Structure 1
Amino acid sequence: MTHDTEPGTTDVVRDLTTSENTKGIQSFAEILHTPLPKHPPFFMDVTLRDGNQALRKPWNLDQKETIFKQLIKLGVQGIEVGFASSNDQEFEACNYLSSIAPENVVISSLSRAVEKEIDISWKAIQNAPKPRIHIVYPISAFTIENVLKTSPTKVLERIFQSVAYAKSLVGVRGEVQFSGEHFGDALENLDFAVEAFQTALNAGADVVNLPNTVERYRPWLFVSMVRAVTNALPKDTKISIHTHNDLGMATATTVESYFSGAIQLETALNGLGERAGNTNTYEVAIALHNCGVSVPLNFSAIYETSRLVSYLSDVPIYEKAPLIGEDVISHRSGIHQDGVAKTRHLEKGAYRAFDAGLIGRPEGDRIEFTSQSGKSAVFCILRDSGEDITLEQAGDLQPILKKISEESGKGELTLDEIKLEWNKIKAISYKTNQA
């Protein structure tokens, strides 16, 4: 069986796909004992820049400060506070937030590869304890030809000049990050992308960022590109990942990129960002945690953060949103409820992907009764409310409640409705015993 690579795939990807990824599926035991990356993940938050610029009503300074302070509470290691050169309001926000930044948090401003704009970025964030200028410039063949309308040689010249200039401003106190915009589209010219990143490093860049600016393909393809670039650059290169969620796979892409060599993970609160949004901070954090990675975030602040961001952005949280959605801890199927009931006391639940208490949610597994529910649901709901009921009694009550749910058309029954029927059964039982 052969594995054909995509048309236009460069040698660096072809070498990768014909070696490491074609050795066959590992045994479960081998997977469990696969060494974790030696480097802890570095969370670079882009909510105040990428997230904010996509809002119908961008945040004012007070709102940005509120989000900024919540990010500090959450424990992110870096914050991109804005795009200082884009307008006066952004400059003011970048400048102010830099002045109140903690000693241990990297503060970044985005800039195009233009000296005048780099100057503005530096002026805005230079008072931060750990300032960083973030320069972005396209590197995919498609964008170079159709948007920049220039040559690859000119692109490399611009990258070197802009990064070197930024480095001359930040000196030894600050950092420079270079992002190769549309890296995810650079499959056909990946060798050039490697050259572009190496050029940035030669000019003094401290971090190179590989963005999936528009998500078009399966995660494996992007992750293969990340691994190829990581292998091609010097071993001490600090690789960053910035993925968008156009096809709904940004979390998977970011998590697997971390396991493929990325150190810095650019994410956004509530997954805010252009179009379908950026990688969601919470999903990446808990996925890594579940895989045994030591994640340097304050998990207990996740739930409150999600509510705050939703309120300030006026973007509601989908009830099925992973981790933070209202419905993700609910169980209504009889089979699921039985599994939940039998594993509630265990660290790992039959149908529990995460511990709600870990992220600051006020409640754990929630069992609710509908026509799809079984006796375990009745038993747990009433027991949790303080009722003394046996599993056998719950089995007698279940068909009664199921019929009410179906015939009323209401679906889910409230605790009061369930108790009403339970009290009827208890009354009948009492009269029978008295007779």
Structure 2
Amino acid sequence: MIANPSTKYQRFVAPNYQNRTWPNKEITEAPRWLSSDLRDGNQSLIEPMDVEKKIRMFDLLVECGFKEIEVGFPSASDTEFNFIRKLIDENRIPEDVTIQVLTQSRQELIERTFESLKGAKQVIVHCYNAVSPTFRRVVFNMDKEQIKALAVKGAELIKAESLKYPDTKWTFEYSPEIFSDTELEFSLEVSEAVCDVYQPTPDNKVILNLPATVEVSTPNVYADQIEWFCDHITRRDSVVISLHTHNDRGCAVAATELGLMAGADRVEGCLFGHGERTGNVDIVTVAMNMYSQGIDPKLNFGKMNTVVREVEYCTDIPVHPRHPYAGELVFTAFSGSHQDAIRKGLSDIKDNPDQFWKVPYLPIDPFDVGRSYEAVIRVNSQSGKGGVTYLLEEDHGIELPRRLQIEFSKVAQMFADGEGVELTSDRLYQIFEAEYFNAKPALEIQTPIDIEEDTEGNTHMKLTLKTPLGDKSLDATGNGPISALVNGVNTLFGWDVDVVDYNEHARSKGSSAHAVSYVEMQIDNKTLFGAATHANTSRSSLKAVISALNRAIDKGLIALK
């Protein structure tokens, strides 16, 4: 990079438009959408789609709800031409879908374009020519009048050709290409001249597409350009203002949204922002942004995983894992504090299902785009108790008490650090099971167990404990089975352990009849948890005590003697 870029690059001079009103506007309804995946998205590929992939893409776009689909540039190649003929001849175009084609302003190309469309019910024919100062000087070596004459000639040829096919409902579209880098007055002048040819009416509108073919400034400047044009075009009620933003500055979504606020009616773009160079506007993101604000986008991405898979298949371009709304990881939290907030938010939604969606870090409900909650929280070495707790509860029916959440999250983090990988839900359960349910068995209760209650409410317990030192007979009393067992082991081994807290619940996943028990024990001025599961609640609680004691023995907090 050069030290002083101002010697090489010129700052774009924004129009001095003082009458702007768009900053006070809001997007309140969906625009007309046009997918250009089969044209822009196809032309940008190293290996363009063949007819089979084009058919799959077309069917996907129809399923997503697009009513206007640009199907190609039929005069550019036989593949494009044959694909369009296949759509028409095989009656693949739904009654409520209008196809669009692109052509340059040359007679033989226009004639070939119309040949490809014979028999179609409704079609948008899109013609364009570049109008910016750089293109006028460098590419065409034409002055303004010559550029305008080129646009008018194309409109005249298209209108004349359309009269040969009276059974088709024709709509005409014109783009002053490089609009974003062209004098506003000249873009308007050329567009007015084209409209003079087409003679649009409120019942038969012409589409004027105002492309940011190359992003040259910030999105607010593009919005000013759009509003200025909307305010100055003489047939506003007979014109559809369309946006076609590219992403050279990474601002295509923002430019489109501000352009809609500035008065535009229609958006052209591609799923996931495909297109030449940095791509076109990402229609999925624009539509889902509307959805997140309570606006029906009139497009359906409820099967987002299917959309992603089909687009990746047809284009051989992977969707980035952090792509808004669609990426594999966009509804996933690894950070401990984020996980905890999400877990609490999801719990709040479950408890209050009639409230608006307000879950920390999740702008929409993943379920709405066909994602399961299993992917929301994932655990690695950066994760905390929130993620661990969520996965065990949602997938395995293990509802950890708060202090056990803290204890086990440290165990899980140790494994994540050691293994250097993400811990899946199943792996996490395996770790919990090994640490608590199947703690290293220094002590093991042998059956049968003799438990009796006297008239004063005391519990008398007799059982045999299998230990490395041999079987030990336990005969103890307490105010319940847990208390009796603790009193018994203290007497047998000379320990001073006590139960601080006890929790249990029915297991909601897997073996639904089983109870899960948790005990928090005070051992040598430290607390340690045990956990167990069993069909019998009493047995589950006793096994949880043994789990805690076995863990304490393994960690050297107490010893058998």
* TM-score when normalising by structure 1: 0.88
Say whether the 8 Å CA contact 2:374–2:391 is kept in structure 1: no
Partners of 1:19 and 1:331 in 2: CA distance: 41
Q: 2:385 matched to 1:375?
A: yes
By percentage of residues, which structure has more strand? Answer: 2
**Residue 156 of structure 2 is aligned with which of 164, 168, 188?**
164
- Kindly indicate whether residue 359 of structure 2 is the aligned counterpart of residue 349 of structure 1: yes
Total equivalences in the alignment = 412
| Match of residue 192, structure 2, among 173, 198, 215 | 198
1:315-353 alpha-carbon deviations (Å, 9 max, x no partner): 112111111111111101111111101111432221102
Question: Structure 2 residue aligned with 1:95, among 85, 94, 105?
Answer: 85
Per-residue Cα deviation, 1:197-240 (whole angstroms, up to 9, x for no partner): 21222221610101111223221111211111111113212001
2:123 corresponds to 1:113: no
What is the aligned partner in structure 1 of residue 312 from structure 2?
A: 310
Unaligned runs of 5+ in 1: 1-5
2:334–2:383: 8 Å Cα contact kept in structure 1? yes
2-side partners of 1:77 and 1:364: how far apart?
Answer: 34
Partner Cα separation in structure 2 for residue 8 and residue 283 of structure 1: 29
Rounded to whole Å, the distance in 2 between the matches of 1:303 and 1:420 is: 28
Kept in 2: contact 1:50–1:273 (CA 8 A): yes
**Which residue of structure 2 aligns with residue 238 of structure 1?**
240
Aligned residue for 2:406?
395
Check the 8 A contact 1:340/1:365 in 2, yes or no: no
Structure 1 stretch displaced more, 140-149 or 344-353:
344-353
Matched letter for residue 80 of structure 1:
E
- Give the aligned residue type for 2:425: L
Q: What is the Cα deviation at residue 176 of structure 1? A: 0.9
Q: Partner of 2:39: helix, strand, or coil?
A: helix
Superposed CA deviations along residues 28-62 of structure 1, whole A, max 9, x for unmatched, are xxx7xx5645x641111101111111111111112
**2 CA distance for matches of 1:328 and 1:75?**
24
RMSD of aligned Cα (Å): 2.3
Q: Which amino acid aligns with 1:232?
A: H
Residue 79 of structure 1, aligned match among 69, 80, 83: 69
Q: In structure 2, how many angstroms separate the alpha carbons of the residues matched to 1:107 and 1:165?
A: 20
- Give 1:275's aligned amino acid: R
Q: Output the CA distance in 1 between the equivalents of 2:404 and 2:363.
A: 30
Q: In structure 2, how many angstroms separate the alpha carbons of the residues matched to 1:360 and 1:198? A: 46
Q: Determine which structure has the larger helix proportion and give its number.
A: 1
CA, structure 1 residues 50+174, in 2 after alignment: closer, same or farther (shift >3 Å)?
Answer: same
Measure, in 2, the Cα distance between the counterparts of 1:183 and 1:43.
Answer: 20
Name which of 24, 35, 46 aligns with 1:56.
Answer: 46
Cα distance, 1:364 vs structure 2? 6.3
Tell me, yes or no, if the aligned pair for 2:26 and 2:261 is still in contact at 8 Å.
no
Closer, same or farther: CA 116–356 of 1 in aligned 2, 3 Å: same
Equivalent position of 2:227 in the other structure: 227
Deviation of 1:157 after TM superposition, in Å, equals: 1.2
Separation of aligned partners in 1, 2:86 and 2:230: 36
- What is the CA-CA distance between 1:20 and the residue it aligns to? 4.2
The residue number in structure 1 matching 2:32 is 42
2:242, 2:259 → 1: CA distance? 9
Aligned partner (choices 259, 262, 268) of residue 260 of structure 1: 262
What residue in structure 1 maps to residue 520 of structure 2? none
Question: What is the identity, as a one-letter code, of the residue corresponding to 2:139?
Answer: V
Which residue of structure 2 lines up, in the alignment, with residue 3 of structure 1? none
> 1:178 aligned to 156, 174, 177, which one?
174
CA displacement at 1:177 relative to structure 2:
0.4
Structure with greater Cα Rg:
2
Distance 1:40 1:378 in 2: 40
Contact 2:27–2:260 (8 Å) recurs in 1: no
Aligned partner of 1:419 in structure 2 is: 429
Measured against aligned partners, the alpha-carbon deviations of 1:383-424 in whole angstroms (never above 9, x if no partner) come to 112224222211111122223333x15142233443244232
Please give the alpha-carbon distance, in whole angstroms, between the structure 2 residues aligned to 1:381 and 1:391: 15
* Residues 1:299 and 1:421: Cα distance change in structure 2 (over 3 Å): closer
- Cα distance, 1:372 vs structure 2: 2.1
Q: What is the identity, as a one-letter code, of the residue corresponding to 2:52?
A: D
Residues 348, 91 of structure 1: alpha-carbon distance in 2 compared, 3 angstrom cutoff: same
> Retained in 2: the 8 A contact 1:77–1:105?
yes
| 1:239–1:264 contact (8 Å) kept in structure 2 | yes
